[in-house]
Each structure stands twice: as structure tokens, then as C-alpha cells.
Amino acid sequence: MPDIIKDIPIDGQGKIECSVGILTFNNAEILSATLESVKDFAQIIICDGGSTDSTIDIAKEFDCTIILQDKKFKREDGKIKDFAGVRNQMLDTANYKWFFCLDSDEILVPELVTEIKEIVQVNKPTAFWVPRKYVIDEKIVDCATTYPSRQMRLFHLDAVNRYIKTIHERIELKTGVPASELKNFMLIPMTTNTDAIQKKWDYYIDLEEERVGDITLRRWIMTCMENLKISTLYLFRLLRNSLFCSGNRMPIKLELQRHLYHINICKRFWGRIKSF
């Protein structure tokens, strides 16, 4: 079990009997809005990476259960190297069978909270994909090449095994367990600072490079072809959105960042080729 800084006993009375798990590290500027959106849940678990700002103080104000990210899941610089590992720490700390995985900058709209409450009351072991929409300058983005953007964030612990994959982690369903999609969406505030976005993507590429290690030329070609396929799909969606999608659109400069990510993977992995 992870080290617990503060564990608030909650009986669930008047609350949604579901645990919410959030990874944090110096997120004081954005965390209050996230926690406010899940205040109706019976348990909020903060798995912190050693914050030096007021992140922990804010978490305590919301009566969160606070644990520390295990050092074995982190790099020497303190950044996470095994995202599945730290998310599984939160599963081990959950007081309730239902679990919702949330990032520190994400927000649940009231309609989604109500929908989750109804599901939890039925209490049938299953899992749900949650639709997501970006928010830029307090405006919801209606058109983006990554739409439909959905992730499996809500699940019953009896319906899943554990989180798998050190990077781009996901929850693994038990054999035969069905998954449905929720009607309402969650919000993802997004920066327009391309340098910040590039820094984030470079971090993921670093982790991917460490995980893969040396590769063959054949593996490099297959990796680049897969990334080219994804980029081609996004380019098609970009054209489609420009012609047929009305509403607020994702800025072009942000759309292009994802293509740079796929290009940079190929460039970085080229230096890892050791055999044919």
C-alpha cells in the first residue's frame, strides 16, 4: 500500500459512492476547479508527485485522501516513468467499487456528474467510455481532428484488472465485460502555448524511447508507417472539419502539433536502429 499523508474516512452519505483518482504535481493554479467539479463524490484520491506549491493544501481543503507517488514508478528527475503504476496505486487506495480516473486539469460538467450518480446507484459491474471536449479561452471546441475523443474513465473494480502500459496507459477490462459510452462529456482546458505542448509531447517520446530501447530497421519502418497512418487520418478530418463542421474550431497551430509528435517519433527512433 502507498504511504498515506491524510486519509479522511467518508461514509458516502449524500455523496456519490465512487472514488475519484487524480495525479498531481504542482497543480495549484488549476486544481481547485477540478476538485470543485467532483465535490459530490464520496472519495477523492490525490496521488501527488512531491508538489512544492499549495497543491496539497488545496487537496486538504476538499478533504481528499492524499498519497505519494511511489518512487519506483518515477525517474531520477522526479517525473513519472510508469503511469500505469501510479494509477494502480490509486486503485489500491479506493474505498468504493466504482472508480473515476481524472486528470488534474479536467472538469466534469454537472450533467455528467448526474449521469454517473445514476449509474452508480444501479451498481452493475461494467465500464464506460467518457466523451471529452477541449476548452480554449473558456470556449468549448466543437471541431477538432481528435474528435470523437473518448477514454475509459469510469469503471467498477470488479469489471477490470489493473492499469497496463507504462505510457499511454489504459485500464484492462476483464474478459467478457461490456463497455458502454456515456452521453455527457467532460472538459479538457487546453493551452495555446505551442512550446508547452511540444514539451509535453517530447516527454512522452522520451518515455517511449526508454521503453523501446534499441530497435531494428524493420521495427522503425513499421513504427513510422503506423504514425503516418494516424497523421493521414487527422489530415482527412482537418479537411472535413474545414468544410462541414460548424462551431468553434481547434486552432490550426494546435492541430499541427500532433503531426509534429508523429514526425519526431520517427526522427528520434531513427537513432535507436542497431540492426536490420
- Interval 105-154: pLDDT, tens: 999 999 999 999 999 999 899 999 999 999 999 999 999 999 999 999 99
pLDDT 10s digits, 219-249:
999 999 999 999 999 999 999 999 999 899 9
How many other C-beta atoms can be found within 10 angstroms of the C-beta atom of residue 245? 15
pTM recorded for the entire structure = 0.88
- Are both 161 and 203 inside the same structural domain? no
Q: Does pLDDT of 11 surpass 80?
A: no
Instruction: Using CB atoms within 10 Å of the CB of residue 181, give its burial: 0 to 12 exposed, 13 to 18 middle, 19+ buried.
Output: exposed
User: Residue 123 belongs to a domain with what CATH number?
Assistant: 3.90.550.10
Q: Verify that 126 and 217 share a domain, yes or no.
A: no
Residue 77 and residue 213 in one domain: no
Q: Which residue segment(s) compose the domain that 242 sits in?
A: 194-275
* Last residue within a domain, chosen from 189, 220, 244: 189
Tally the domains of the chain.
2
Q: Assess whether 64 and 21 both reside in one domain.
A: yes
Is 157 found in the same domain as 23?
A: yes
**Whether residue 149 sits in one domain with residue 38:** yes
Is 172 in the same domain as 198? no
**Are 128 and 199 members of one domain?**
no
Q: What was the pLDDT predicted at 13?
A: 61
Is residue 1 pLDDT above 90, yes or no?
Answer: no
Q: Could you read off the pLDDT of 253-274 as tens digits, one per residue?
A: 999 888 899 999 999 999 899 8
225 and 176 co-located in one domain? no
Q: Which of 171, 189, 207 is the C-terminal boundary of a domain?
A: 189
Does the pLDDT value for residue 3 go beyond 60? no
Q: Considering the chain, what percentage of its residues have pLDDT values greater than 70?
A: 95
Q: Is residue 139 located within the same domain as residue 235?
A: no
pLDDT value at 10 more than 80: no
Q: Indicate whether 139 and 167 sit together in one domain.
A: yes
Arithmetic mean of pLDDT, 53-68: 97
- Domain end residue (candidates: 156, 189, 222): 189
- 112, 50: one domain: yes
